[in-house]
Chain A
Amino acid sequence: MSTEALAQTSDNRTESTGYNFAYLDEQTKRMIRRCLLKAVAVPGYQVPFGGREMPLPYGWGTGGMQVTAAVIGQDDVLKVIDQGADDTTNAVSIRRFFARTAGVATTESTREANLIQTRHRIPETPLSPGQILVYQVPIPEPLRFIEPRETETRKMHALQEYGVMHVKLYEDIARFGHIATTYAYPVKVNGHYVMDPSPIPKFDNPKMDGSPALQLFGAGREKRVYAIPPYTRVESLDFEDHPFEIQGWDQTCAFCGSDHSFLDEVVIDDENGRMFICSDTDYCNQRLSDGARTEAL
């Protein structure tokens, strides 16, 4: 009964799954696209959208998935990463979801993909014009941990009342000698809205600035989308005497020898043995196939 009812109301149903192309129905996709257009028109502004329940749990990428479902087309090539890696379980799960419901081509190569859904990282390989990067966002409101009320934070954004954020960063410096935010480091977009870049490490923040790719953000549980259009100014908040800085490592990648990518730490024995490897698996593999080698192996 149910599948019949579905079939009668759909225009774009894939036969294999019984669901519409890329799962969401066309009206929902249109609604999301409209919200995305608004988000692109007002960079960094959180646009409320009628987020749907997805067949994955909230907090596991439902916002990013809805954005991806809304913008993906039959000819797109999709890449999904989690923690920079293509082979982490949730990345595998989401990539499979779209391979199944949309039948699109998938890839692990950053260069080959024109649509990349990500959780917690921006690829090391610079993005190029025409690419879309879709971020999964848990808490879209950068002011949430300072002011829990939505009614208040909306006003604060409208009035650019961001003093509290600087106070928070200042308190870090007073207490620790450094700004103690290492990921989800707040940025100011196009000189107006303070935005949460999603929990990417601050290492990745500079990649957002002036990126030729379109950056879309989806928060499913909180029902917000926001965007950074290509070539938009994105500044990480800081102070003149405490300029923004990114993480660095003494070590290099144990596989490819990279000394400039974000490194994950792997515990290799119970005697405090550590090994550092690129978090971006595709970047690491690229370097290896390009002939990069390291003595650490």
Chain B
Amino acid sequence: MYVAVKGGEQAIDNAHSWLDETRRGDTSLQELSVDQIREQMTLAVDRVMTEGSLYDPELAALALKQASGDTIEAIFLLRAYRTTLPRFLSSVPVETSQMAIRRRISAVYKDLPGGQILGPTYDYTHRLLDFTLLANGERATETPPEDTVEDCPRVLDFLNYEGLIESPMPDSESHHSADSAEQASPADLTRQPLDFPANRDLRLQALARGDEGFLLALAYSTQRGYGRNHPFAGEIRQGDVAVKIAPEELGFPVIIGDIEVTECDMINQFAGSETQAPRFTRGYGLVFGNCERKTLAMALVDRALRCRELGEDQVSPAQDEEFVLSHCDNLDSSGFVSHLKLPHYVDFQSELVLLRRLRKEFNERKSGSSQQPANVKATSDNKQEKNSDNQKRREASQA
């Protein structure tokens, strides 16, 4: 008759070993190596690093392998590892004008110092399935040119010479300036809970970690009129930058390594005011690796979220800081949505009890007499008192 719900422990073990088997797939085929994923699935690795907020291509590739290619599961693995790592210090702000550039485009000037470099991009490819790849017929590739670091000024700085655009660090936020050695360290939502209203540093961190799909949809909504902000892709650049730290006892910065980043500077309209000449405003996006779509989305949403600071009406979802920041993290959302899979017997039973009672009362009202057999009896607060009396008695006897 009744099968007890025992055996959770054994069931979990069995599920996990079945999972391992499924992940491995057909054993007559060679196992996928972490190196292969790192080298040949780079865009997946980059997304996992970005939203996992840990720059480590090898671990990101491992996470992807372990997660059977499920990006969000891989991000979860990387985040859960990252959270156990000690935090020694904050780096000096990364200088993206000093970059070994792989790709650099601007949609606002035809040509400009530093040039337009298309780099390795899917843009302008015709999305036709390449059946040579299916036949394992990879064409020989040319060796890419050596990356060299050159001083390459940012496009928005050209506009800034004329004052046509706001400076990247508005006065109100200059306390985060890189110049001072005793700069306030930037906010970190992995250490401090998110607090509203949030400053831009915190917002940018949340967006950088935020789900690409969610941000993309929000960014798209601004383009369709829900918080329109007239964007131009001022500059997108991708390449390697040096990460520097300045330990207190050393007194000067030292390079600890290079990371690959993609940066997007968006130029947006601004009408100006009585006291301020009209000028363009900015939206900013920065990610690990090559997640260009994400940087564009991030820059659009960043700009939309600046509505309060710029005195614009807040009317659209993308402009609503609490809405965007509370829902952009895909571990928050996937965790909470998937927790619906956990047992809810007790809550459901509570609802059943109430629903049966309401239906019984409904039927009684309708027919004027009781017809339905009742599963439920109303319990008055007398019983509650009785319970707490019992409890007191039990306590007394224990004492």
Q: List 27 A-B pairs, Cβ < 8 Å.
A: A2-B85, A23-B84, A52-B83, A54-B80, A55-B80, A57-B76, A57-B334, A57-B338, A57-B339, A59-B337, A59-B338, A83-B343, A89-B12, A91-B8, A96-B9, A119-B342, A126-B391, A151-B197, A199-B346, A203-B350, A207-B391, A221-B335, A221-B336, A223-B193, A244-B384, A247-B350, A250-B377
Chain B residues contacting A245 (CB-CB under 8 Å) are 378-381, 383-384
Chain A residues contacting B376 (CB-CB under 8 Å) are 247-250
Contacting pair A92 B8 (CB below 8 A) = yes
Contacting pair B342 A183 (CB below 8 A) = no
A289 within 8 A of B: no
Nearest-neighbour CB distance to chain B for A17, whole angstroms, equals 11
B110 within 8 A of A: no
Stretch among B29-37, B257-265, B279-287, B352-360 lining the A interface:
B352-360
B150 within 8 A of A: no
Closest to A152 in B: B322
Neighbour of B346 across the interface among A25, A49, A121, A274, CB < 8 A: A121
B5 within 8 A of A: yes
Contacting pair B346 A57 (CB below 8 A) = no
Q: How far is the CA of A183 from the CA of B349 in the complex (A)?
A: 10
A17-35 contact mask (Cβ, 8 Å, vs B): 1 or 0:
0011001010000000000
Nearest-neighbour CB distance to chain B for A232, whole angstroms, equals 15
Contacting pair A92 B12 (CB below 8 A) = yes
Contacting pair B12 A264 (CB below 8 A) = no
Closest to A150 in B: B196
Q: How far is the CA of A244 from the CA of B380 in the complex (A)?
A: 8
Q: How far is the CA of A249 from the CA of B375 in the complex (A)?
A: 7
Chain A residues contacting B354 (CB-CB under 8 Å) are 178, 180, 182, 247
Contacting pair B346 A60 (CB below 8 A) = no
Chain A residues contacting B192 (CB-CB under 8 Å) are 50
Contacting pair A85 B80 (CB below 8 A) = no
Contacting pair A264 B345 (CB below 8 A) = yes
Chain B residues contacting A9 (CB-CB under 8 Å) are 86
B1 within 8 A of A: yes
Nearest-neighbour CB distance to chain B for A129, whole angstroms, equals 9
Chain B residues contacting A48 (CB-CB under 8 Å) are 193, 195
Contacting pair B193 A51 (CB below 8 A) = yes
B63-92 contact mask (Cβ, 8 Å, vs A): 1 or 0:
000000000000010011111111000000
Q: How far is the CA of A254 from the CA of B4 in the complex (A)?
A: 12
Chain B residues contacting A84 (CB-CB under 8 Å) are 346
Contacting pair B322 A150 (CB below 8 A) = yes
CB interface residues, B 188-213, toward A, < 8 Å = 190-197
Q: How far is the CA of A224 from the CA of B326 in the complex (A)?
A: 14
Chain A residues contacting B139 (CB-CB under 8 Å) are none
Chain A residues contacting B332 (CB-CB under 8 Å) are 58, 221
Count A/B pairs, Cβ under 8 Å. 197
Given contacts A53-B331, A87-B5, A177-B358, contact A60 B342 (CB under 8 A): yes
A14 within 8 A of B: no
A5 within 8 A of B: yes
Chain B residues contacting A59 (CB-CB under 8 Å) are 335-339, 342
Contacting pair A19 B8 (CB below 8 A) = no
A202 within 8 A of B: yes
A12 within 8 A of B: no
Q: How far is the CA of A201 from the CA of B347 in the complex (A)?
A: 6
Known: A126-B391, A148-B322, A248-B377; 15 extra A-B contacts, CB below 8 A, are A48-B193, A53-B331, A57-B334, A60-B335, A178-B357, A200-B346, A201-B346, A202-B350, A246-B384, A247-B376, A260-B387, A262-B349, A264-B346, A264-B349, A279-B346
Q: How far is the CA of A52 from the CA of B353 in the complex (A)?
A: 37
Chain B residues contacting A42 (CB-CB under 8 Å) are none
Neighbour of B353 across the interface among A62, A176, A249, CB < 8 A: A249
Chain B residues contacting A87 (CB-CB under 8 Å) are 5-9
A275 within 8 A of B: yes
Closest to A82 in B: B343
Given contacts A128-B398, A212-B395, contact A265 B352 (CB under 8 A): yes
Nearest-neighbour CB distance to chain A for B332, whole angstroms, equals 5
